[in-house]
Amino acid sequence: MKISKKIITLCLLLGSLSICSSVFGVQSKFYEYIKSISKHVKPLPLLYERENEKRAEYDNMMKILFSLMSFDDVLIIMTPDGDYTPFLYFNRTKLVAQAIRHESLQERFNSLLNEYPRVWVVIVDPRSGWQAQPPKKYASILKKKYMSLPLPMPTYFASRNIIPGSTNYWLVKANLLKRTLDINPKNRNPRLYLRLGQVYRRFGELDKAVNAYRDGIKKFPGDPFLHRELGECYYWEYSPPLLEESIKENRLANQSHISKFGKPKYDAMFNIAMAYRDLGEMTKSALQYNDILRAVNEFPNNYFESQTRRYLANVYLETGQTNKAIAQYNLDIKLAAQSPVYSYKKLIEIYSSQSLSNKYKEVVSDYYKSCGKNCPDAIAKYLTFINDKSEVIKGVNTVKLWMKNNTNLYYKIKANSDYWTPWTNAAISCGISPAEK
């Protein structure tokens, strides 16, 4: 029997044994076991699209691993519940299994990372066991919910000689991804192209990144993440940005995401709205932002709702629809998904430009009460605006108390003359030292 077949048999056995504990109840522990590996090179996504019911991809997986591995590497086959078997790699036909007592798993696992210069970890998908012998109890739900999905085999790689985040780190990752694509053109996964493009972007290799995404889209035209990354490249990486192209790719990303997952992809929708605004098509931009707001009613996402309300308000301001803008800024403050400082500042600008003193006073006061403990700008605006001596004294003493509980606040105020001048003027006018203590 070929060595890859032996490993496949082992995978099937381990996968079928771990099904109940790893998926239908017991919390998996293997995440704890791979933390130390993740500190080095991040997961290499050796994942494969489902090609047929027999799922012969495991043979191809092992061929790829053998092509990437070097003499004296360690290959670890791990089940989702943390049990594993290590193999010492000698060549493409020889692996030596190492027996380990179950109670020594964690200790031995950590020692492998220190003992050998290069370690590979393959996490066995429990569906490998289900494919071999589906449990009768779960047969119907497995067939309906899981068996039509791509069969992943996440692979981690660690090397003692690689410093995380270093140039060598990214070179190694790019090299591994590229070699994986070259070794086996038949079995590819969109995540390989996705990761390769992301690595190239980090290096500033824009053309290579775009080509990686385009190559992935040719093979997987319905993958939302490839379309999203390409659309993001067109918007952020090109100067001037390719706005029409970005809109097209982000629209495809959102449509594909809805098709695959039944819900919108908000970052893609948001990017479309920004691109329309940059094109000067303000009506289309506002319509797109409102589409997001309608979507969050069904699929809540407080962050994107907050961002959308802010950017939609900005579009309304630019098109002279001030009251609509004010309403959106107030809704953002009420939502409290992010710091309200941004929307308070925008409201203050509006009321100041319109000389609406009552509204201005109300917003400045709310801004101070809501954000003053951490925001020097809120303090400066409030102390500059109020005229009543008793209110000034009360405000200065309150700020002093905030400084006592938040030592950074004083230094933030002192570092900026726009904050320091109003603060010192207010404190001195009350006969109070502006110093921290």
pLDDT in tens, 56-89: 455 566 677 778 888 778 877 776 565 666 777 6
Backbone angles phi, psi at 115, to 5 degrees: -80, -35
- 319 token code pair: 């098109």
**Is the separation of the CB atoms in 409 and 374 below 8 Å?**
yes
Contacts of 279 (CB under 8 A, 6+ apart): 243, 244
pLDDT value at residue 50 = 43
**Is the separation of the CB atoms in 264 and 257 below 8 Å?**
yes
Question: 151: which DSSP letter?
Answer: B
**pLDDT tens digits for range 114-146:** 777 788 877 665 555 544 455 566 666 655 554
CB atoms < 10 A from the CB of 221, how many? 12
pLDDT value at residue 222 = 92
Residues of the chain short of pLDDT 50, as ranges, are 1-28, 47-56, 130-132, 146-147, 149-151
pLDDT value at residue 30 = 54
From CA 1, how far away is CA 189, in angstroms rounded?
A: 28
Give the DSSP H/E element, type plus range, for residue 368. helix 357-371
pLDDT value at residue 190 = 81
**Is the separation of the CB atoms in 149 and 55 below 8 Å?**
no
pLDDT value at residue 11 = 41
pLDDT value at residue 150 = 45
> Quick one: which of 193, 159, 148 has its CA closest to 47?
193
For every residue of 94-111, DSSP letters joined together read: EEEE----GGGHHHHHHH
Q: What angle do CA 334, 298, 343 make, to 5 degrees?
A: 25
From CA 154, how far away is CA 168, in angstroms rounded?
A: 22
- 43 token code pair: 């997961």
From CA 83, how far away is CA 7, in angstroms rounded?
A: 15
Backbone angles phi, psi at 52, to 5 degrees: -160, 170
Burial 21-30 (b: 16+ CB within 10 A, else e): bbbeeeebeb
* pTM of the shown model: 0.75
**Is the separation of the CB atoms in 341 and 371 below 8 Å?**
yes
CB atoms < 10 A from the CB of 179, how many? 13
Give residue for tokens 């790019």. Answer: 174
With 0-12 / 13-18 / 19 or more C-beta atoms within 10 angstroms meaning exposed / middle / buried, residue 365 is: middle
**Is the separation of the CB atoms in 330 and 343 below 8 Å?**
yes
